[in-house]
Amino acid sequence: RKRWWRVVRALDEFEEAAATPVGRLRQVVDAMAVEMHAGLASEGGSKLKMLLTFVDNLPDGSENGIYYALHVGGTNFRILRIQLGGQRSILGHDVERKPIPQLLMTSTSEEFFDFIALSLKEFVEKGNDLQLAQVRGKDLGFTFSFPVKQTSVSSGTLIKWTKGFAIEDMVEKDVVQCLQEALSRRGLDMNVAALVNDSVGTLAVGHFLDKDTVAAVVIGTGTNACYLERADAVIKCQGLLTTSGGVVINMEWGNFWSSHLPRTSYDIDLDAESQNPNEQGFEKMISGMYLGDIVRRVIFRLSLESDIFGALSSKLSTRFNLSTPLMAAMHEDDSPDLKEVAKILEETLDIHDVPLKVRKIMVRICDVVTRRAARLVAAGIVGILKKTGRDGTGGITSGRVKGVKSGKMRRTVVAVEGGLYTSYTIFREYLNEAVAEILGEEIAPYVILKMMEDGSGIGAAMLAASNSARS
């Protein structure tokens, strides 16, 4: 008794609820632009926090010297050292990645930062060209990819944790001070010169390499975006003066929400069972922490409705049992009999001997989830272009959308980084395609998405360079 009709019905319902035709995407574009405007107009005016970063001068390629950076933001913690040689050149680049021990993600701020400081010390000591004494006074960029209320380019307090972190005593503390204190405890005399969100780091490196880069998006464990805004458009900070007339805004777009988002019953359940219900709604439909789990929820439902996956596997009922990289591996399985799909179902979910027909259903589910995620990111990106008048429609004023085409289009580069974009080819293709589809063939050639690897870390080191106390 397979109950195929139930499977077919559940799948059809899911596909329909998750559909992202271009008309719907355009509604998301408009909603994004309107919410951006509202978030800039007043504190708490939108679910988009639109945080001021105090970064007004992005690296321009002239930076010189050796700089370090720390990157904390998701599954992996990264330490970097770069050597800049002026003239847009990066002469050297070393990076070390370390998984953050699960225990530390819910420990105390002291334990957490001690781990980071110790790791940096070990990295410095391993470097063959530099010893501890020689890093004295060196500038350090710190990428910290959680919502932070910045008070200057090198200070800021944590607003809340996301992505499974929960070190309660850190909330509302100055993260740079915590890091600086841990560095002193470990005898590292380094200066935290820039505190940056990962998306801001990505924007910095993008701008270092190409001056037309005006926005950056990160799609890894979580998701976020930032862009270069005119200082006078930040209505909530009247009289904001910057030397360049611009300022980088950290959107915290993971928390974006709109009734136009194609939400399914699986999204509702995922949110309800998460550590932060009703928050990060956009992130929960898009980012690496969640995509695999949406797929798991769909298979779980199909297993309850039918026996196409055999007897109900207990592994299917546990959150996060199917990771996004494994989901991607199933989606990208190009063997004729979908061997990889069968193997992953067996090894991770304890589901055995599924026929080809069912393996194909697995691929289809992965496709629906990934396609929706990639196309929503595309709509978000075009939303930023719309807000900044770079989508060919003339931008928005006072929340009203003008329909006029502006005559002149500028070349616009958006830097994109994060494991989903860099390592999941189908995701990247869907995203690139959807941006072009929404913009239309006249405007699309002016908009270039550039993949950055390790960009946010390198960018943080570059921002340490351009904001160095010595410069």
Residues that bind ligand ADP in the complex, under the rule CB under 6 A: 73-76, 220-221, 288, 324-325, 328, 418-420, 423-424
**Helical axes 455-466 vs 198-209, angle rounded to 10°:** 80
Report how far residue 207's alpha carbon sits from residue 58's, in angstroms, rounded to the nearest whole number: 7
Question: To the nearest whole angstrom, how small is the minimum distance from the Cβ of residue 112 to ligand ADP?
Answer: 16
| Torsion angle defined by CA atoms of residues 363, 16, 292 and 278, in that order, rounded to the nearest 10 degrees | 180
Q: Which is closer to ligand ADP, CB of 324 or CB of 412?
A: 324
Question: To the nearest whole angstrom, how small is the minimum distance from the Cβ of residue 76 to ligand ADP?
Answer: 6
145 is catalytic: yes
198 is catalytic: yes
Type of residue numbered 104 = L
CA distances to 222, 318, 432 from 426, rounded to whole Å, are: 18, 27, 10
CA neighbor of 372 nearest in space, from 420, 319, 305, 412:
420
Pairing of β 64-72 and β 138-144: parallel
Question: To the nearest whole angstrom, how small is the minimum distance from the Cβ of residue 82 to ligand ADP?
Answer: 18
Token pair belonging to 463 = 């921002």
Q: Which is closer to ligand ADP, CB of 97 or CB of 405?
A: 97
Question: To the nearest whole angstrom, how small is the minimum distance from the Cβ of residue 174 to ligand ADP?
Answer: 22
CA distances to 71, 73, 274 from 99, rounded to whole Å, are: 12, 11, 22
Q: Which is closer to ligand ADP, CB of 222 or CB of 262?
A: 222
Q: Which is closer to ligand ADP, CB of 37 or CB of 71?
A: 71
Element (DSSP H or E) covering residue 450: strand 447-451
Identified catalytic residue from 198, 293, 333, 391? 198
Report how far residue 383's alpha carbon sits from residue 380's, in angstroms, rounded to the nearest whole number: 5
Question: To the nearest whole angstrom, how small is the minimum distance from the Cβ of residue 196 to ligand ADP?
Answer: 14
Tell me the chain's radius of gyration from C-alpha atoms.
Answer: 23
**Residues paired with residue 250 on neighbouring β-strands, in sequence order:** 51, 226
Q: Could you tell me if 40 and 50 are in contact, meaning their C-beta atoms sit under 8 angstroms apart? A: yes
Q: Which is closer to ligand ADP, CB of 221 or CB of 467?
A: 221
Question: To the nearest whole angstrom, how small is the minimum distance from the Cβ of residue 115 to ligand ADP?
Answer: 16
293 is catalytic: no
Residues contacting residue 471 through CB under 8 Å, at least 6 positions apart: 465
Identified catalytic residue from 30, 78, 258, 303? 78
Q: Which is closer to ligand ADP, CB of 288 or CB of 395?
A: 288
Active-site positions? Answer: 78, 145, 198
